[in-house]
Structure 1
Amino acid sequence: MALTTLEVSPVRPLHVLYLDFDGVLHPDSVYLTRNGIELLHRPGHTLFEHVSLLEEELQPYPDVKIVLSTSWQLIKGGYEHAKSKLPAGLQERCIGGTFHRREMRKAWFESMSRPDQVILNVKRRQPSRWIAIDDCPEEWPAWALDCVVRADPEQGIASGAVLAEMKTKCKRQFGARS
């Protein structure tokens, strides 16, 4: 009997983008109403209006995975519902959310700041590189700010300064553009 050699592929380092929706992919004035999730008081804007900018920025980094860090994962349908709001290409990158029903109570999670939610998840997943896109940068600890893209609550990632910061941090964290 001949012995065969197992081919072992090298383990790729985990690179994660922690993604908030409100104030990032559209303005932050989003509310749960009787009609569902609605963007209120922002004429001329739509939910997920900046998603193509995110797709474009992540295109050179095919190994980057997405972890949802949005309150959308707390409503009916949870993580799967939130993920379904993204285009197929971004859905394929999703590997989970910062909220896990098996690991934590909803009330406890809701009482945590977004930075605490993300940092807890970073400790659990241990990505080698990560970035969080969030519209509340003042809540982040100073040591994490190199990994945080500060979105504009009204313009999200469509703001020129935010887009420039996202490009710089993606390049630094995830590799040079090809």
Structure 2
Amino acid sequence: MILFLDFDGVLHPDPCYDQGKQFCFLKRLESVLLEFPDVEIVISSTWRESRSIEMLRGFFIPEIQQRIVGVTPNWRDHEELFDVIGYQRQTEIEAWIRTSGEPWLKWVAIDDKCFLFKPFLQNLVRTRPDTGFDEIAEKKLRDLLSKF
């Protein structure tokens, strides 16, 4: 199972002008992920565009750091796929899956921008930009991960 993870609006409010509040919802997510040790993480956040994977891993506890296996490519590098899918973040996820060597892998995404995905996508945990990974999102993620 792969979890595609956005940061802004998920791990902290979006916008987040107070650096002291950055990653204020991270511990809640990490506690869920510790219960599901087979879940690997791919960063789908735009933070991947300006930071190395090592820097991105550094925000997480060591038990989670080792499970971060990559970052999604930019949808603009896969315009032929975007032409078929029509949604930017979902195109990035599908492109990563296709190049993973394991295209059959099940996946879940956590994101606050549902317009970047096909409507009614069952494996999307949508957060609200102001509340991020709250109790509602936590419950939905647990429910999805428990099914796999």
> How would you bin the TM-score normalised by the shorter chain?
0.7 to 0.9
Taking the aligned partners of 1:82 and 1:127, their CA distance within structure 2 comes to: 26
Partner in structure 1 of residue 105 of structure 2:
128
Mean Cα deviation higher: 61-70 or 161-170 = 161-170
Counterparts in 2 of 1:63 and 1:165: CA distance versus 1, 3 Å: same
Q: What are the residue-to-residue correspondences of 1:80-159 with 2, within 5 Å?
A: 80-99=54-73, 108=76, 113-125=88-100, 126-142=103-119, 145-158=121-134
Query: Cα deviation per residue 1:68-106 (whole Å; 9 max; x = unaligned)?
Result: 11111111x42222222222221111111113xxxxxx6
SS in 2 for 1:128: coil
Matched residue type, 1:130: W
Q: Which residue of 52, 60, 67 corresponds with 2:27?
A: 52
**How large is the Cα RMSD of the aligned pairs?**
2.4
Q: Which runs of 5+ in 2 are unaligned?
A: 83-87
SS in 2 for 1:63: coil
Deviation at 1:142, TM superposition (A): 3.7
Higher relative contact order (CA 8 A, sep 6+): 2
Q: Does 1:169 align with 2:144?
A: yes
Counterparts in 2 of 1:127 and 1:154: CA distance versus 1, 3 Å: farther
Deviation at 1:127, TM superposition (A): 4.7
State how many pairs are aligned.
138
Counterparts in 2 of 1:127 and 1:21: CA distance versus 1, 3 Å: farther
Q: Which runs of 5+ in 1 are unaligned?
A: 1-14, 30-38, 100-105
Partner in structure 1 of residue 41 of structure 2:
66
TM-score where L is the length of structure 1: 0.68
Conservation of the 8 A alpha-carbon contact between 1:73 and 1:81: no
TM-score where L is the length of structure 2: 0.81
Conservation of the 8 A alpha-carbon contact between 2:75 and 2:91: no
For the pair shown, which has the larger CA radius of gyration, 1 or 2? 1
Q: Indicate the structure with greater helix content.
A: 2
Mean Cα deviation higher: 115-124 or 63-72 = 115-124
Deviation at 1:67, TM superposition (A): 0.6
Deviation at 1:139, TM superposition (A): 2.8
Query: Cα deviation per residue 1:23-46 (whole Å; 9 max; x = unaligned)?
Result: 1110121xxxxxxxxx31x69x61
Counterparts in 2 of 1:107 and 1:163: CA distance versus 1, 3 Å: closer
Matched residue type, 2:23: F
SS in 1 for 2:21: coil
SS in 2 for 1:59: helix
Identity among equivalent pairs (%): 28
Mean Cα deviation higher: 83-92 or 64-73 = 83-92
Taking the aligned partners of 2:44 and 2:115, their CA distance within structure 1 comes to: 17
